[in-house]
Amino acid sequence: MNKNFKTVFTAEDFTERNRTLHCQGLQEISVYKEDIGRLLGKLDVRQAMGPEGLSGWVLKKCKGQLLDPI
């Protein structure tokens, strides 16, 4: 089976040479507890867990305790 894939797929180089990125970056980010609380309150508890392993239900129910650490 591996021989079959070798005939169809080839290794390609996707790197772009001589490319310079010009980025000024972020100067300032403002995050407010009220905004975080509002977003946590709108979470859909029926959705799957995120990569951190916390369900939306836990985040929504514990939003009051999570506002300061976040």
The length of the chain, given as a count of residues: 70
Dihedral sign from CA coordinates of 49, 53, 54, 57: positive
Per-residue confidence (pLDDT) for residue 26, from 0 to 100: 75
Per-residue confidence (pLDDT) for residue 34, from 0 to 100: 92
- Tens place of pLDDT for every residue, the chain, 70 residues? 677 777 777 677 767 666 676 777 777 888 899 999 999 999 999 999 888 898 999 999 999 898 888 7
Nearest to 65 by CA among 37, 24, 30, 23: 37
- CB-based contacts of 36, cutoff 8 Å, min separation 6: 63, 66, 67, 70
